[in-house]
Chains A and B, each alone.
Chain A
Amino acid sequence: MAAAAGTWAFSLPALRKMRELLLRGADATDCVQEAMAAIENDEETGSYVVGRGGYPNKDGLIQCDAAVMEGHSCHFGAVAALSGVGTPLAVARKVMERNTHSFLVGDGAAAFAREQGFMVEDNESMMTERSAEVYKEYLEKKKSPKGHDTLATGDGDQIMCFCPCFHVVLLMKQGLSPMDACQTVLEDILQRVGKENMFELGIIAVNMKGEAGAASSMPFPYCVWCQGQDSIEELMQQPCKL
């Protein structure tokens, strides 16, 4: 049984790629890496806060976070605040396979990437016209007293306090369907923080039978493919109400 799912509509080309690779019998991790690299390195998808052409931080640097995990062995690799590499997930995979640690950050992560043969580019080549424009706007706003100090508020800051993906897997282990597991986790968090303080959160899950599910606090498009299906389903998850 092969299956794949991706968050947001821009994962569609990645899912197409993964479907093609999986049907050819490729290794699951290779599929994830190859399909993700195309998105990460594409300036067009940078505006979705992924890789090249993304949003710079307050010092004007594009820094990326990525993680990869293999379910059968529980091997895991991650990088954070990595500058100058267009394919951060591939670096995370090298951390998983070639480094005895699991998580590298900052300059150490960049040094490791270089040792592994990745080209570490300067920041300018990671930026697109759009990235530069966004940063310029940010600097101008900062000068004027009325401006906000946020460039791109990531809800990741709040999401990581709830370990939602781990919780979904635990619930599926207890026998919940992917849809029910995602809904339960989202409702839990919603109840916890209250409707008025709820942040943007979208969760997707796939189980070993190839069934998929999702839950979200905002309209959330996602893509799913399961072996036996000709095409990739583009689905829209409506926000959970409490």
Chain B
Amino acid sequence: MARLGIAPGRCFRLLVLLLVLGVRAAPLPLVLNTWAFRRAAETAWCTLQSGGSELDAVETGCGQCEIVQCDGSVGFGGSPDEHGETTLDAMIMDGNTMEVGSVADLRHVKNAIGVARKVMQHTKHTLLVGESASLFAVSMGFPYEDLTTQNSLSIYLKWLNQSCQPNYWKNVIPDPSKSCGPYKRAKELNNRKEWSISQRKMNIHNHDTIGMIVIGETGNVAAGTSTNGATHKIQGRVGDSPIAGAGAYADSTVGGAAATGDGDVMMRFLPSYQAVEYMRMGIDPTIACQKVISRIQKYAPEFFGAVICANTTGSYGAACNKIPGFRQFHFMVYTPLLSQPSEQVVDCI
């Protein structure tokens, strides 16, 4: 207890709070986001309080994380790819109209979720990628700038100095576990099953995302994500965050959900869509999140990931997969019962 720095009294209060909020319906509006990104929750709440829509709240909340570079895992100057460049993925979804706007592999533009919103508002498309997405952003008035900082440059140089370890290559020559590229394919695969999802080394230290759900006073649901992806990723890699149903999902007849973790694996299971479907059947949000996690566990027992979800009665929940180094998942909640955003913790299953 002492080592964790949590006093027993506080634990008890937290438990009571969780019981009160988790089981019974909480008053709306509700802001819920992944990780202890307090400023994001605060900003989204302020937007709602000053008359902004749920979509505005998601955009400004996640946008705040892009500005303050939450944990280095959102926004510019973090998670350089294997060429040292920071690229961004983001999406936003309107649970009333089921419209989605998203960008992936976005380069040279900082406000990824802002661009995603413009994709939704000003195009008939849903997902734009790469340099073409940057050109679209510029046409919408976003500044085109360098996303590299001293910090991302030093992460990149350090990685080069340690023979590009870790990286995401397999079945190529030279041996990717010992040397840098450029790589070429190895002649043939010695064993197709050689690589399994469980061998991945992605963890809390090299990847997370802001995912946010906002439910307005009248039950309108919006959700969104923003991330700079996996550190040292292969050029062109896109994770789960900009994929509707994977990174986030919103449906004003039910609620919303968002996921964070190893996007390469999580995008195969559409965890956010499934959490919303479970809630549609009347399942409690916490149980819905747990069912989603346990379904992925069957295929990838050691995946790194967490899911949050909330329904339109204001109930919310979270769940995560327990692996070494990741036993608890922190997330932020803001409701009218609280005078400030509350950081909550869930034990992984």
Q: Residues of A with Cβ closer than 8 Å to B?
A: 59, 69, 73-76, 80-81, 97-109, 111-112, 115-117, 150, 153-154, 156-158, 160-163, 166-167, 170, 192-193
Distance from A193 Cβ to chain B, minimum over Cβ atoms (Å): 7
- Once the chains bind, are A108 and B237 in contact (CB under 8 Å)? yes
> Does B170 touch A at the CB level, under 8 Å?
yes
Q: How far is the CA of A74 from the CA of B93 in the complex (A)?
A: 26
- How many angstroms from the CA of A21 to the CA of B344 in the assembled complex? 54
Contact call A106/B105, Cβ cutoff below 8 A: yes
Q: Contact between A161 and B100 (Cβ–Cβ < 8 Å)?
A: yes
| Nearest-neighbor residue (CB-CB) of B238 within chain A | A103
Q: Please tell me if the beta carbons of A105 and B238 are within 8 angstroms of each other in the complex.
A: yes
Q: Assess A101 versus B185: contact at CB under 8 Å? Given A81-B129, A108-B235, A158-B126.
A: no
When distances are taken between beta carbons in the complex, the residues of chain B under 8 Å from A103 are 104, 237-239, 243, 264, 267
Q: A74-B269, A76-B268, A166-B245 are in contact. Are A101 and B127 (CB under 8 A)?
A: no
Question: Are B129 and A99 in contact (CB-based, < 8 A)?
Answer: no
Q: A193 vs B249: C-alpha distance in the bound complex, in angstroms?
A: 16
**Per a CB cutoff under 8 Å, which of B124, B192, B236 touches A97?**
B192
Q: Which 8 A-B pairs have the closest CB atoms?
A: A108-B236, A106-B130, A108-B235, A163-B245, A100-B168, A104-B236, A76-B268, A105-B129
Q: Are B236 and A102 in contact (CB under 8 A)?
A: no
Number of interface residues of B (CB under 8 A): 53
Q: How far is the CA of A81 from the CA of B127 in the complex (A)?
A: 11
A-B contact pairs, 24 of them (CB 8 A): A75-B197, A75-B268, A76-B267, A76-B268, A80-B127, A80-B238, A97-B189, A100-B170, A101-B168, A102-B263, A103-B243, A103-B264, A104-B236, A105-B105, A106-B105, A108-B234, A109-B236, A116-B185, A153-B124, A157-B125, A158-B126, A163-B244, A163-B245, A163-B270
Q: Which of A98, A102, A107 sits near B268, CB closer than 8 Å?
A: A102
Given contacts A104-B237, A105-B236, A109-B236, contact A69 B268 (CB under 8 A): yes
Residues of A within 8 A of B192 (CB): 97
B273 at the A/B interface (Cβ < 8 Å)? yes
Contact partner of B185 (CB less than 8 A), chosen from A75, A102, A117, A158, is: A117
A115–B277 Cα distance when bound, in Å, is: 40
Within 8 Å CB of A102, what residues of B?
263-265, 267-268
**Contact A161/B105 with A109-B236, A115-B184 known, Cβ cut-off 8 Å:** no
Q: By the criterion CB–CB under 8 Å, are B124 and A157 in contact?
A: yes
Q: Known A160-B244, A161-B100, A193-B98; judge A80-B273 contact (CB<8 A).
A: no
* A-side contacts of B165, CB under 8 Å: none
Contacts A69-B268, A102-B264, A167-B273 aside, 17 further interface pairs with beta carbons under 8 A come to A59-B132, A97-B171, A97-B189, A99-B169, A101-B233, A102-B265, A104-B237, A104-B238, A105-B104, A108-B105, A108-B236, A115-B183, A115-B185, A157-B125, A161-B93, A166-B245, A167-B277
On chain A, the residues within 8 Å of B269 by CB distance are: 74
A116 to chain B, nearest CB (A): 5
With A105-B104, A161-B98 already in contact, the answer to whether A100 and B195 are too (CB < 8 A) is yes
Report B103-117 residues with CB < 8 Å from chain A CB.
Answer: 104-105
- Give the complex CA separation of A112 and B233 in angstroms: 12
| B200 at the binding interface (Cβ < 8 Å) | yes
Known: A107-B130, A160-B127, A166-B273. A98 touches B236 (CB 8 A): no
Complex-state Cα separation, A109 to B130, whole angstroms: 11
Bound-complex Cα distance A117 to B264 (A): 23
Q: Which residues of A contact B184 (CB under 8 A)?
A: 115
Q: How far is the CB of A181 from chain B (nearest CB, A)?
A: 13
